[in-house]
A and B are shown apart, each in its own frame.
Chain A
Amino acid sequence: MTRWGMAADLDRCNGCGACVVACHAENNISTVGDEQAARGRAKHWIRVERYWEGDFPDVRLKFRPVMCQQCGNAPCEPVCPTYASHHTEEGLNAQVYNRCIGTRYCANACPYNTRFFDFFNPQWDKPLQLQLNPDVSLREVGVMEKCTFCVQRIQGAKIQAQAEERELLDGEIQPACVQGCAAKALVFGDLEDPESQVSRLSRSPRGSKLLEDVGTQPAVAYLARQTQA
């Protein structure tokens, strides 16, 4: 079996935001404009959070990229009345847009605030629609959307491997955020394979999971930024 997971090394992450734009580009996330953004309707499947500590001049700032944690015990799934939010065999918290009726219970239940509601139909000023990725469906008004770990890339790599009659290689699948990261702060792979890079990183003594104590069993491990006296 496979359990897709990610490791984010906060000692490599420098907060640049390349993952945020890469995700927009890959997943056909529509921009909403300033007025709607001011109402909290901007959609960023991955975001860079910042935590300030201390006061000037002894001040520190820490970045943390946060996307759907693809929980093993996901609060968003049991609350969905239409099974739009459901768990795949490979551990993804999948969202079937065609089933979604927009109750937003899932967003309510998600402790990570990584689900986004489409308040209107997406719109691209022509010819910006030419940038759209044909592998990713567009979401219309009234549905929830979220990080998929770039499931289209996972499926594409599987088909490719099948055609070449071989197993998937570790590191062969790179979600857009992982591929774009210049500092190689993000690593994606199969947590069930103890030798995969993501498994090894997830076992690091620096590792922890976000809000692990609420029992969500996240598939994303964060490797703490080290400090030096």
Chain B
Amino acid sequence: MTAAIDRRTPDDRSSSDGSDLPDAARSGGPAVPAAGATPPGDGPGREALSEMSHPHRARAVKNGVAKGVMWAAFALAMVPLVWILGTVVAKGMHMLTTMTWWTGNQRNINSDDFGGGARHAIEGTLQMVAFTTLIAVPIGILTAVYLVEYGRGPLARAISFTVDILSGVPSIVAALFIYAVWVTTFGLGRSGFAASLALVLLMIPVVVRSTEEMLKLVPNELREAAYALGVPKWVTVVKVVLRTAYSGIITGVLLGIARVMGETAPLLILAPYTKNFQRDLFNGNFPTLPMMINQDRGDFALTTAAERMWGAALTLILLVLLLNVIGRVIAHFGSVKK
């Protein structure tokens, strides 16, 4: 990224401390002069040597233990990840190799029928996510810009606090909120758009928080350099600050997209599934991949239904992966030149 962050390994630091004050270093108490700690006339040379080597060994042991714990935690985290990926690929790959999967839909295909297409759901998910991104990203980035570049005092604190709360809102609560506003209060029908609105609520805090962090990483010196050239503040923010943080912001947006893409609760409540192609986000049922997975859930015992679920799951994972790759490429071309 932009700011040069001082990454020091633990080893760099441990080598410098406690070389001649082992007692103080070990107990964490006040620094006692070494001469006072050593009993007089008791072979000071040997005593000093053993005192020095002991904490050194203790440090080495601690270092080893910490390293072991770290690797164990890493392995533990990887197990379910690899397991899930392996299972999904193994069971879902089969569906993805059929041509109709990428071209057809699920019309007139029952649980015990083989195959069918997922194109309706792929298109639906992409359309819905694109729409959500279109609304959530500008709001999220502008909020972050306000918080970092302009916000002072109680209003900024209130917004920051609200974002914190929003990021903790369970997706089903966001969905019910939109339901209460959209359907109950305004009397409008459930639709893909209504589900998008709920997804917007979930995406905004992710975008705000990550963008905020990236903007904070932009060194103040760059802002000052621009101000000193007589560049107005808003131009500085747009052309210097946002530009410098660009690739980090893209990463944040990708995180947000990944968060909402597989979100199911808002779809269950706001966007009923359809097996047909449906490109109208504003009226009627709407096909999406998570809902397609959910569709066959009741008939999981049937191989045909299970295969379709695995296929849809793998497709969803691949979509997120694809968007990530695209995002990385975009971020790469706009990143800080070295």
Question: Is chain B found bound to chain A in the same assembly?
Answer: no
Interface residues of chain A, those whose CB is within 8 Å of chain B, are: none
Interface residues of B (CB under 8 A from A): none
